[in-house]
């Protein structure tokens, strides 16, 4: 059975199971413990309504905060079937399913407390960008596959002709230098065009910023922002040598967002076909995966600066 005590000294295994190092996990568990205690306090039956004393009944299998955090991180990172997940942690499939949804919400609140989650509200987005003290941002969209819906209307809504599959989509805004995700759009049907999603959100950026984007955002020009995107090849013509050189230069700068999205998809729950059918769960897992990516990036940037003697 997997427990934190069993895997904590196996660096490669722990990284493969959670995407975090031992030091990162032990930093995260401090905040996770506080959020778990709040969860327990909110769901505990008041003393005057209890039928037996506190602490009665069967003891939980996941007794420590480290084990609970390992459980949910392992689920996000590896995304096993619930039957297998339960077997690996000594739980029934039903109890594993229940814990997935409870601990996912606790993990989200943990990352929110640590200020690692991306902004979700366009009206407050610019405040987060101003606080970042950066003026270069990268915008891109990412599509994820979901199971084929049973409802015929939903089948039509979520079918993406481009991917030949049923998908959902999010737009992501990241800072180019620090590589932190500052904004995550609402989760929508995958066939919606990237630019249309941006137009609906009406994002604003600090004046004088630079925004790097790909050709999928052609025509999206926020006020007071210098937009940089590759030049499309004219129909029936070739690009000039100057345009090709400019496109390469822009691509080298905006590749940052591709690396960031690849980091988010270390969590296989947002890379594989999403099997969970609970409402809003597709949005929750993407937000948590972005928060984990921000947490890893922040921790490892701090460590690199410390190694260089900058801290």
pLDDT score, position 309: 63
pLDDT score, position 42: 84
Place of tokens 């729950």: 269
Of all residues in the chain, the percent with pLDDT exceeding 70 is 95
Question: What integer is the mean pLDDT of 17-28?
Answer: 96
Place of tokens 């955002």: 217
Quick one: 156 and 188 in the same domain?
Answer: yes
Question: What integer is the mean pLDDT of 187-204?
Answer: 91
Quick one: 279 and 149 in the same domain?
Answer: yes
Q: Please name which of 35, 20, 14 lies closest in space to residue 298, comparing C-alpha atoms.
A: 20
Quick one: 74 and 163 in the same domain?
Answer: no
Quick one: 88 and 176 in the same domain?
Answer: no
pLDDT reading at 7 higher than 90: yes
pLDDT score, position 255: 92
Three-state DSSP at 305 gives helix
Q: Is residue 22 part of a domain?
A: yes
| Residue 208, domain CATH | 3.30.420
pLDDT reading at 52 higher than 80: no
Q: How many domains does the chain have?
A: 2
CA distance 39 to 47: 17
Quick one: 154 and 87 in the same domain?
Answer: no
Residues sharing a CB contact under 8 Å with residue 192, sequence separation 6 or more, in sequence order:
169
Q: What is the pTM of this model?
A: 0.91
More confidently predicted of 298 and 308: 298
Q: Please name which of 114, 127, 62, 112 lies closest in space to residue 90, comparing C-alpha atoms.
A: 62
pLDDT score, position 84: 97
Helix axes 65-78, 93-113, angle to 10 degrees: 100
pLDDT in tens, 262-294: 999 999 999 999 999 898 999 999 999 999 999
pLDDT score, position 243: 87
Q: Are 282 and 144 in contact (CB under 8 A)?
A: yes
Quick one: 183 and 215 in the same domain?
Answer: yes
pLDDT score, position 32: 97
pLDDT score, position 308: 62
Quick one: 136 and 79 in the same domain?
Answer: no
pLDDT reading at 79 higher than 80: yes
pLDDT score, position 129: 86
Q: Is residue 29 part of a domain?
A: yes
- According to DSSP, the β-strands at 181-184 and 165-175 are antiparallel
Quick one: 102 and 218 in the same domain?
Answer: no
- Helices marked H in the chain — which ranges? 4-7, 11-18, 22-43, 65-78, 82-88, 93-113, 122-132, 152-158, 194-201, 241-264, 281-307
Neighbours of 1 (CB within 10 A): 10
pLDDT score, position 46: 73
Q: Is residue 232 part of a domain?
A: yes
Q: Is residue 246 part of a domain?
A: yes
Quick one: 144 and 291 in the same domain?
Answer: yes
pLDDT score, position 71: 97
Q: Is residue 54 part of a domain?
A: no
pLDDT score, position 239: 87
pLDDT score, position 57: 66
- Helices marked H in 121-240 — which ranges? 122-132, 152-158, 194-201
Q: Are 141 and 169 in contact (CB under 8 A)?
A: yes
pLDDT score, position 307: 63
> CA neighbours within 13 Å on the CB side: how many for 201?
29
* Parent domain of 219: 122-307
Quick one: 139 and 278 in the same domain?
Answer: yes
Q: Is residue 145 part of a domain?
A: yes
Handedness of CA 285, 122, 136, 142 (dihedral sign): positive
pLDDT in tens, 146-192: 999 999 999 999 999 989 999 999 999 999 999 999 999 999 999 99
Neighbours of 110 (CB within 10 A): 26
Q: How confident is the model at residue 107 (pLDDT cuts 50, 70, 90)?
A: very high
Q: How many residues can be counted in the chain?
A: 311
Q: Is residue 52 part of a domain?
A: no
Question: What integer is the mean pLDDT of 213-217?
Answer: 88
């Amino acid at each position: 059975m997997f427990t934190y005590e069993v895997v904590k000294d196996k660096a490669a295994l722990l990284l493969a199971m959670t995407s975090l190092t031992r030091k990162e996990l032990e930093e995260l568990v401090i905040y996770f413990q506080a959020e778990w205690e709040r969860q327990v306090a909110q769901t505990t039956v008041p003393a005057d309504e209890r039928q037996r004393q506190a602490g009665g009944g069967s003891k939980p299998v996941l007794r420590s905060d480290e084990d609970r955090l390992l459980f949910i991180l392992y689920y996000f990172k590896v995304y096993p079937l619930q039957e297998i997940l339960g077997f690996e942690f000594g739980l029934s499939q039903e109890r594993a399913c229940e814990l997935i949804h409870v601990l996912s919400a606790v993990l989200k609140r943990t990352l929110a407390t640590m200020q690692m989650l991306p902004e979700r509200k366009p009206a407050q987005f610019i405040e987060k960008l101003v606080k970042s003290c950066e003026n270069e941002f990268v915008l891109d969209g990412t599509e994820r596959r979901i199971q084929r819906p049973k409802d015929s209307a939903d089948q039509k809504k979520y079918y993406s002709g481009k991917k030949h599959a049923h998908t959902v989509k999010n737009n992501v805004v990241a800072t180019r230098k620090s590589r932190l995700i500052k904004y995550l759009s609402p989760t929508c049907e995958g066939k919606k065009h990237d630019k249309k999603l941006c137009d609906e959100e009406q994002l604003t950026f600090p004046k004088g910023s630079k925004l790097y984007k790909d050709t999928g955002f052609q025509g999206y020009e926020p006020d007071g922002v210098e937009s940089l995107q590759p030049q499309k090849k004219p129909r029936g013509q070739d690009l000039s040598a100057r345009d090709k050189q400019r496109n390469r230069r822009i691509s080298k700068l905006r590749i940052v967002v591709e690396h960031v999205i690849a980091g988010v998809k270390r969590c296989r729950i947002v890379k594989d076909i999403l099997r969970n059918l609970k409402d809003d769960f597709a949005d929750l897992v993407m937000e948590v995966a972005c928060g984990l990516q921000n947490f890893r990036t922040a921790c490892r940037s701090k460590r690199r600066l410390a190694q260089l003697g900058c801290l």
